[in-house]
């Protein structure tokens, strides 16, 4: 069952970098199949550490603490893509197997490198250009046109570090918003809807994918996901081809997500890739035979992948900020599966939990 001596057995420790809600749901899934989870995070009292067997709180560049982490957790995965390259290097130097491959994490950390990489895999994106000054922004605008979006290349998520440009007159204000950080100008996609593909690749090269997810965003943050997506089988097949290609390239092990814009003519344009479990896959906890979290754990610890079939139509709604104060009402609704992440404080825009509703039979 395990991959030629590199896999973990029940009772052994899986390491997770990061202490947020994705780490928490990975830890719960790992515990269900008998693994101990050791979390490494720079945050005390994190959502993941409160369901893990052990937590090391340390900076991501603390080589001594990372080495102590790697001594007990032979296989280490991550709940976020912004793992510094030096962190992964320190873990590997200490003898850990890091899955997925840090090269996939590195590409996904930089929006320019990511789009360049996707294009090299024959996966289309919007037109884009690297921007390091107002003059470069103006030059890029004359090539790409408006509307357009300026984003920081690194460390942006949930619509943070972004500025929309309706015309060239918006250039100075948009560049100002980047605070001097290297940026990328992207053409604006007038999409019909947004979809994502979530797939897994095992250590043995096996592949499984979930049904295409249809996603709604509000203010740059995912608000809800529904299954089945309103998309043709040809669109699903194109998304599968893209994710397979990316995974094969990295000899990838684990779950990987690609977010796309679906255009009116059926064209799929990739927005970004996430080398990890994804918010648009939370429906799989109740709605699929194997959740994305268990699937990722199975892959990285060298077990066979589980079946990824969807068992119902699903609607997942994020509980953002004060939405979570409705927990008692949601918990008493028999059609709702409530998930709360145990975050100690509520902030506007912060993902506090989610709710999934299933409808049988699946269409
Ligand atoms: P991101 O931070 O790149 O995931 O963007 C968050 C959301 O902003 C996306 O899910 C889209 O709804 C919107 N968005 C980002 N980039 C573009 C683009 N180039 N064209 C149209 N909408 C975009």
- pLDDT score recorded for residue 157: 64
- Residue 36 sits in the same domain as residue 89: yes
Our mutation pick for probing the ligand 1 site, out of 220, 274, 318, counting the most ligand atoms within 8 A of Cβ, is 220
CA distance 66 to 70: 6
Residue 2 has pLDDT above 70, yes or no: no
Residue 160 CA neighbour count, 13 Å, CB half: 7
Burial 22-42 (b: 16+ CB within 10 A, else e): bbbbbbbbbbeeebbbbbbbe
Going by pLDDT thresholds of 50, 70 and 90, the confidence category of residue 160 is low
- Ligand 1 centroid – CA 157 distance (Å): 10
Residues 161 and 180 placed together within one structural domain of the fold: yes
Question: Which CATH number belongs to the domain containing residue 275 in this structure?
Answer: 3.30.470.20
Residue 44 tokens, joined? 């005390």
pLDDT in tens, 226-240: 999 999 999 999 999
Cβ neighbors of 227 (< 8 A, separation 6 or more) are 211, 212, 213, 214, 283, 287, 310, 313, 314, 315
- Residue 330 CA: distances (Å) to CA of 88, 135, 218, 324, 349: 40, 51, 21, 9, 20
- Same domain, residue pair 275 and 156: no
Per residue in 238-285, pLDDT tens? 999 999 999 999 999 999 999 999 999 999 999 999 999 999 999 999
DSSP one-letter string for 276-324: S--GGGTTHHHHBSS-HHHHHHHHHTTPPPPP--B-SEEEEEEEEGGGG
Q: Is there a single domain that holds both residue 169 and residue 198?
A: no
Query: 281 and 226, same structural domain?
Result: yes
- For residues 273-302, give the mean pLDDT: 98
For residue 184, the tally of other CB atoms under 10 A from its CB is: 23
**Is 107 a domain residue?**
no
CATH of the domain at 53: 3.40.50.20
Give 271 Cα–ligand 1 centroid separation in angstroms: 7
pLDDT over 60 at 3, yes or no: no
User: Which atom of ligand 1 is nearest the CA belonging to 158?
Assistant: 2
Residue 256: inside a domain: yes
Domain, as residue range, for 25: 13-98
Give distance in angstroms: CA of 162 to centre of ligand 1: 9
Percent of the chain with pLDDT over 70: 97
CATH code of the domain covering residue 164: 3.30.1490.20
Q: Is the dihedral of CA 355, 357, 362, 363 positive or negative?
A: negative
- Considering the domain architecture, whether residues 221 and 270 belong to the same structural domain is answered as yes
Considering its fold, how many domains does the chain have in total? 3
Q: Do 221 and 349 sit in the same domain of this protein? A: yes
Contact in structure between 263 and 192 (CB atoms under 8 Å): yes
**Beta carbons of 247 and 207 less than 8 angstroms apart:** yes
Its sign, for the CA torsion 328, 334, 336, 342, is positive
Instruction: Tell me how crowded residue 80 is: count the other CB atoms within 10 A of its CB.
Output: 18
Residue corresponding to tokens 């995974």 = 247
Confidence label for 155 from pLDDT (cuts 50, 70 and 90): confident
pLDDT value, residue 333? 97
Q: How far is ligand 1, taken at its centre, from the CA of residue 149, in Å?
A: 8
Closest ligand 1 atom to the C-alpha of 149? 19
Instruction: Tell me what the mean pLDDT of segment 95-102 comes to.
Output: 96
Task: Report which protein residue has its CA nearest ligand 1's atom 11.
Answer: 220
Residues 346 and 255 in one domain: yes
In a domain, residue 81? The reply is: yes
State yes or no: pLDDT of 4 exceeds 50: no
Name the region of 24 (left: φ>0; alpha: ψ -120 to 50; beta: rest): alpha
342 prior amide bond cis, ω within 30:
no
Residues 21 and 162 in one domain: no
Residue 161, in any domain of the structure: yes
Q: Locate all alpha helices (DSSP H) within the chain, ordered by sequence.
A: 21-32, 63-72, 85-93, 102-108, 111-120, 134-144, 171-177, 233-250, 284-287, 292-300, 327-331
Check whether residue 183 and residue 74 sit in a common domain: no
Q: Give the residue, by CA position, lying nearest to ligand 1 atom 8.
A: 220
Whether 69 is covered by a domain: the verdict is yes
Q: Say what percent of the chain tops pLDDT 90.
A: 95
Q: In the structure encoding, which two tokens stand for residue 50, read together?
A: 């409160």
Q: Is residue 307 situated within a structural domain?
A: yes
Alpha-carbon radius of gyration of the chain = 20
**Does some domain include residue 316?**
yes
Q: Is residue 117 part of a domain?
A: no
Same domain for 202 and 177: no
How high does pLDDT run on average in the chain? 96
pLDDT tens, residue by residue, 316-338: 999 999 999 999 999 999 999 99
Query: Do 19 and 26 contact (CB within 8 A), yes or no?
Result: no
**What is the Cα–Cα distance from 351 to 193, expressed in whole angstroms?**
22
Does ligand 1 come within 6 angstroms of the Cβ of 194? yes
Axis crossing angle, helix 292-300 with helix 21-32, rounded to the nearest 10: 70
Q: Does residue 255 sit in the same domain as residue 273?
A: yes
Please count the CA atoms within 13 angstroms of the CA of 201 that sit on its side-chain side: 20
């Amino acid at each position: 069952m395990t991959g030629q001596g590199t896999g973990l057995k029940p009772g052994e420790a899986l390491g997770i970098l990061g202490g947020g809600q994705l780490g928490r749901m990975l830890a719960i899934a790992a515990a269900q199949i008998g693994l101990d989870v050791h979390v490494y995070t720079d945050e005390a009292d994190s959502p993941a550490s409160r369901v893990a067997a052990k937590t090391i709180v340390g900076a991501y560049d603390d080589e001594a603490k990372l080495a102590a982490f790697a001594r007990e957790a032979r296989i280490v995965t991550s709940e976020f893509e912004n793992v510094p390259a030096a962190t992964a290097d320190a873990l590997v130097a200490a003898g850990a197997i890091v899955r997925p491959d840090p090269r996939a994490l590195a590409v996904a950390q930089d929006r320019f490198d990511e789009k360049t990489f996707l294009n090299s895999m024959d996966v289309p994106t919007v037109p884009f250009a690297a921007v390091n000054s107002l003059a470069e922004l103006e030059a890029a605008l004359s090539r790409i046109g408006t509307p357009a979006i300026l984003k920081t290349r690194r460390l942006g998520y949930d619509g943070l570090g972004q500025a929309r440009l309706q015309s060239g007159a918006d250039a100075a204000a948009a560049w100002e918003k980047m605070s001097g950080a290297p940026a990328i100008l992207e053409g604006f996609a007038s999409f019909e809807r947004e979809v994502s593909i979530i797939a897994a690749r095992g250590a043995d090269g096996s592949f499984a994918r979930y049904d295409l997810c249809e996603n709604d965003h509000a203010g740059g943050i995912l608000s809800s996901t529904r299954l089945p997506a309103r998309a043709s089988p040809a669109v699903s097949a194109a998304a599968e081809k893209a994710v397979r290609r990316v995974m094969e390239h990295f000899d990838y092990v684990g779950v990987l997500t690609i977010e796309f814009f679906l255009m009116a003519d059926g064209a799929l344009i990739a927005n970004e890739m996430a080398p990890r479990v994804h918010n648009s896959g939370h429906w799989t906890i109740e709605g699929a035979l194997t959740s994305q979290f268990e699937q990722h754990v199975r892959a990285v610890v060298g077990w066979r992948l589980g079946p990824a079939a969807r068992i119902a139509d699903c609607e997942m709604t994020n509980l953002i900020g004060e939405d979570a104060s409705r927990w008692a009402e949601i918990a008493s609704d028999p059609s709702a599966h409530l998930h709360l992440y145990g975050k100690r404080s509520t902030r506007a825009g912060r993902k506090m939990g989610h709710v999934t509703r299933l409808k049988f039979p699946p269409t």
